[in-house]
Amino acid sequence: LESPILKLLDAFLCPGADPIRVLVTGAAGQIAYSLLYSIAKGDVFGKDQPIILVLLDIPPMLPVLDGVVMELQDCALPLLREVIPTDKVEVGFKDLDAAILVGSMPRKEGMERKDLLKANVAIFKTQGAALEKYAKKTVRVLVVGNPANTNCLIASKSAPSIPKENFSCLTRLDHNRARSQVAMRCGVPADAVKNVIIWGNHSSTQYPDVHHAMVNVHGKEVKAYDAVKDDSWLKGDFISTVQLRGAAVIKARKLSSAMSAAKAICDHMRDWWFGTLDGEFMSMGVYAGGNSYGIPEDLIYSFPVHIKNKSWNIHDGLTVNDFSRAKMDATAAELVEERDTALSFLSQ
């Protein structure tokens, strides 16, 4: 018979990790459809991390959600321990380790921006309150639904006992777009480009900045400006291409970015879970409090961050020239206006 000591030793050497609970909202939508397989397969939280997937959507979408659940079951993924489809926040937000808030009110034709903000304030106030009431205080929250920065701020303010540092919004898609544009221009793979930055809002005022980016050309790291050798492109079409890429995808596909958004969500959460590489920073929309770049404090603003032990820090000490300063301030001004409008709705 196996001795108790051998059993204990086996349990110590081969621990079965407890499953983590991961929520995806808007789970019947097209971004989630591109996202869920990667999470369930282990591409995000680790190849040995079992997962309970909680899928939240509005009641009319529940029949569609049933189809998504069937497909996840049919993938026969060993890490996927349970799938819970629901339209109830008390089920959806219970004991969460990670929350990926994809669902939001999309902008409809003829809709004023303030009407869009008002509808989303109501949604993210409810979801923030649900995080406060039901989720673990260590939950990591990623807001994807637009306007993502301000939605994230509202969710955080509605969950005061969860640290502000546990809330972030997605600007990794913009970061990946910028990285790819530079890589294509230089004729190198995307992973040969590092330390691009997205400053500010996930909107057309965002500032994609490559003043501190490096490109590996024939095994040697050179500054992006020296690798590209076209300053007018980097200060013109490059910026507008990244800023307006979402609209370009919609125009071509008649649908918004889903595959690339899902990939960016995976990148963002994987880095948050496992950390960034030494000498590299990534773009994340995070709480601006205490930043060294002169950005107003009470905002969710995209900064370059490095991550260790599931905690991010803004990468300090980068020089900011006048060109960058003007663009960083312009996107901050838009966020201040959005925040003030949203807070007036929050207090109603």
144 is in an annotated binding site: yes
Q: Which two tokens stand for residue 87?
A: 């339209």
Q: Which of the following is catalytic: 202, 212, 306, 315?
A: 202
146 is in an annotated binding site: yes
81 is in an annotated binding site: no
Q: Which two tokens stand for residue 153?
A: 């701020």
Residue 202 designated active-site: yes
Distance CA 42, CA 335 (A): 35
176 is in an annotated binding site: no
Q: Which two tokens stand for residue 273?
A: 């879970």
286 is in an annotated binding site: no
CB 124 within 8 A of CB 154: yes
Distance CA 159, CA 164 (A): 9
Classify residue 10 by burial, with Cβ atoms within 10 Å: 0-12, 13-18, 19+.
exposed
177 is in an annotated binding site: yes
Distance CA 313, CA 262 (A): 24
Distance CA 65, CA 86 (A): 9
CB 171 within 8 A of CB 273: no
242 is in an annotated binding site: no
Annotated binding site for NAD(+): 57, 120, 144-146
Annotated binding site for substrate: 107, 113, 146, 177
Annotated binding site: 57, 107, 113, 120, 144-146, 177
Catalytic residue IDs:
202
